[in-house]
Chain A
Amino acid sequence: MSRTGQSAVVGSPLELSGRRKIRFDNRYVAPLFITCILLVGHISYGILESWERTAIAIVFAIIAELILGRIFFGKWLNLASAYISGISVGILIRSPALWPYALCSVISMMSKYVLRVKGRHLWNPSNFGICALLLLAPDTVTALSVQWGNFIWPLLVIWVLGSIIIWRAKRFHISATYVISFFAFAFLRSWITGDPWRAEVAPITGPMYQLFVFFMVTDPKTTVRSKTGQCVVAFLVAFAEMLLRLNDVVYAPLYALFIVGPTAMLIDIWWESRARRPDASEAVQPI
């Protein structure tokens, strides 16, 4: 996951010392939110494998971003994106070993620099890193697949706060489209398989989906540019997930985004370059 609201939306100013104003950069809302989820979840329910593992994931993501940003952009980059990627890896990866946390973070950050087309990276970094580890190290790595605690209210708080933050970042329509599509496809799956509809709905009540819905599918750097396109992609992610679920794929949402996200990005990039072409052709039109 890279940062949400990265397009430098400026938040409400806070009045300080009468005249002096400090602007709260919206780029830090998402890191703050995910940190709160992490702290509350771990202190109350012990959601993490351990603090050390999550710390490793964050530190390695930040180091990778610092080094790669310096080499390829010649500057020290803002670390909000790396922090979110690291913390996401720390929460979503489950492994008794330490190395997957470091490796996943580094692969996630590197994917932003390697897998690029026309200056845009294709995969959500942590989605890429997690899927890579799930596919390449299934004997050591799994993803978070159980809920945190038993009560409904922490879940509601996360959904409400997450929705507000996503709304402020102007990406609520993506999450909403995905969630509505998920429920529709859950009922469809229930009808097809004969399993209880609650069993089909169950996954979205878990924390993996909270992170997925608010931080992964909404990533501004790896979503298409038009609002309609974003909704279509979110719908297609849910559809691909349904197909994977019908084939008993455990980490269906992660793989669905892994497949649909970059495909949509490539189409978007191609569409954009095609739209620019007439200008160029006009410039060389013969008299």
Chain B
Amino acid sequence: MRRGKLARALLILTFVALLVSPLFIKRLSTGGHGATASMDPTASLARFGFHLKEVAQTSGIKFMHQAPTLDRRLNHIMPQVASMGAAVSIADFDRDGWADIYVTNSGEGSKNALFRNMTDGSFKDVAAEMGVADLNELGTGVSMGAAWGDFDNDGYEDLFVYKWGRPELFHSDSGKRFTRVTDKAGLPSWMNANTAIWFDYDRDGLLDLFVGGYYAEDVDLWHLKTTKMMPESFEYAKNGGRKYLFRNLGRGAFEEIGERVGIDTRRWALAAVAADLRGSGNSDLFIANDYGVSELYINDSKRFREMGKQTGVGFSPKSGMNAAVGDILNNGKYSIYVSNISEDGVLIQGNNLWVPKEGTTGESLKFDNMAREMGVEMGGWSWGAQFGDLNNDGTLDLYLVNGYISADRNRSYWYDFSKIAGGNSTIISDAAHWPAMEGRSLSGFQQKRVWLNDGAGRFVDVAQAVGATDTYDGRSVAMADLWNRGVLDIVVANQKGPLLIYQNTAAPENSWVAFELEGRTSNRSAIGAEVRVHWNGKQQVQQVSGGSGFCAQNQRRVHFGLGKNPRIERVEIRWPSGKIQKLETPGVGQVHRIKEEE
């Protein structure tokens, strides 16, 4: 009898202990979340090796993004339908050696901006005089993003602007003006695209263009034939936009071959990145899809095979909004970062960090989601993210923006959102069935994440401490050394918010090296080229990217932090043509301009 009572008492005690255990687990897990309080620049520089200062206005940049006003039948949910379009892409369009910034706007009649780097610390909007400002005229749709790439190998970066509407391709006339060549290129008259990247999929030395549709291309969001244009499912939707692969035929002509070469998905693409994930020499294509699984298209330079499930990245459906690659473990392999949605108490998808599984490569390549273990899982309603070594310590860090709709701080739309998200396709796919938002917020006013890589497999959020303190609805992030100081600055495009420039100050004791590549046999932008730096017994690989993140493009220059007292042993460049070029002990603290050997 006494034994029974004792057992029961123990049972009750254990039960209570288990009930309160989540509170202790939370306390333990937040213990390692880094610095949540703000710090003065000197302190953050000393502790984390860098500090960020927002300098857009003082640099002459006053850009405010405007959202479109779509068909009035979407009025009740307008903030969430018209929730994209703030985008930033970096290029040195005039080849003066200084990074310039292109920013899209999305209000009808609003202007895109091309901020020329004046080399004195300031920027000047030259979009109108260069002919790339007025792209949001009523009836032509509105801009969603842009991607730079020298499609005719004349040495100057050309510009593709993707839209919910008529896409536009501009040829750079020696960096002095842009000429519209959309019709000659043979691009479609209408698409609803939210991602585009340049890459030379067939390695013929000409850049090809991938464009990912979001809404179906027969939807004119200003003149809806039907309100049944929403995703048919929150996690399994396949009624999105077409995917295009425009093969560059030379002389400014393109041929759409997406379906023919195996890219025939109708998922809701929001981000794409191309990288040689298998070491095959070909750029594989990763697509992060909203309302569904991610897709990984393996490229054999002629055809693509979708291998998302086989590689592990395409099984659990989430809300993919970002695709960025980085060698985060300094082992010469790319991991892929995909952003998703997390909202306490409602929806915890968690972001994905797909790390190549040890011992797998080539055809057997597999990925593990290590976001939780490495500390980069929870980012709120996450959007754009980019890898870059922010403190030049020799490991890649991660900058993430977030926040969906910041409206009324005290009223949330989450309950109604979750209600409709659980509905059958006949309900969720019709905008008319969605409850009105009525000025409510949906994961708004969120704090950004700046995850510092400790080099031992963990990232620590230091955003507040290092000065990334804004709470705008962030969309697109790009990194570039804007003032040629040997550090990566950060440009953030916010939906219905200002363009932000975070000027980075890194600890001077950490060294760096950068490479600007120019292809000869390969495409002249050198997009797809890989630079592998070996130093102090370590290695890191980076690639020249034709677009990554969410509606973003980093500078083409690849920047390596090297830490203290580095000794570079060697640098290998693998060009898209397949050629390997080696550099012996290049100097640190400088930008090396390398041309592909003939």
Binding site for B on A (CB under 8 A): 45-46, 49-50, 68, 71-72, 94-97, 99-100, 103, 106-107, 110-111, 113-114, 132-134, 136-142, 145-152, 155, 193-196, 198-203, 205-206, 208, 245, 248-250
Contacts of B8 in A (CB 8 A): 72
Contacts of A152 in B (CB 8 A): 424-426
Inter-subunit contact B316/A49 (CB<8 Å): yes
Task: Please name the residue on chain A nearest to B348 by beta carbon.
Answer: A142
Q: Say if the beta carbon of B237 comes within 8 Å of chain A.
A: yes
**A and B contact pairs by CB, cutoff 8 A, 18 listed:** A45-B236, A71-B11, A72-B8, A95-B348, A99-B25, A107-B18, A139-B26, A139-B345, A140-B26, A145-B346, A147-B234, A149-B236, A152-B425, A195-B416, A198-B427, A200-B419, A202-B433, A206-B424
Inter-subunit contact B416/A137 (CB<8 Å): no
Contacts of A200 in B (CB 8 A): 419
A139 to B434, CA, bound (A): 26
Inter-subunit contact A199/B25 (CB<8 Å): no
B339 vs chain A, min Cβ distance (A): 14
Task: Please name the residue on chain B nearest to A68 by beta carbon.
Answer: B11
Cβ 8 A contact of A155, one of B7, B14, B237, B424: B424
Contacts of A249 in B (CB 8 A): 415
Q: Say if the beta carbon of B428 comes within 8 Å of chain A.
A: yes
Cβ 8 A contact of B421, one of A110, A111, A146: A146
The answer to whether residues A96 and B11 also contact, given A152-B426, A202-B420 and a CB cut-off of 8 A, is no
Contacts of B11 in A (CB 8 A): 68, 71-72, 110, 113-114
Cβ 8 A contact of B422, one of A96, A110, A198, A205: A205
Cβ 8 A contact of A147, one of B15, B22, B23, B233: B233
Apart from A103-B21, A201-B423, A250-B346: 6 A-B pairs, beta carbons within 8 A? A46-B293, A71-B11, A96-B372, A148-B236, A155-B424, A195-B416
A218 vs chain B, min Cβ distance (A): 21
Inter-subunit contact B424/A137 (CB<8 Å): no
A122 vs chain B, min Cβ distance (A): 14
Task: Please name the residue on chain A nearest to B293 by beta carbon.
Answer: A46
Cβ 8 A contact of A199, one of B26, B238, B420: B420
A145 to B422, CA, bound (A): 5
Task: Provide the B169-206 mask, 1 if CB < 8 A to any CB of A, else 0.
Answer: 00000000000000000000000000000000000000
Cβ 8 A contact of B423, one of A151, A195, A203: A203
A249 to B235, CA, bound (A): 22
A51 to B238, CA, bound (A): 24
Cβ 8 A contact of B428, one of A110, A155, A202: A202
Task: Provide the B347-386 mask, 1 if CB < 8 A to any CB of A, else 0.
Answer: 1111000000000000000000001100001100000000
The answer to whether residues A136 and B422 also contact, given A94-B348, A107-B15 and a CB cut-off of 8 A, is no
Contacts of A138 in B (CB 8 A): 344-345
Inter-subunit contact A205/B418 (CB<8 Å): no
Q: Say if the beta carbon of B12 comes within 8 Å of chain A.
A: yes
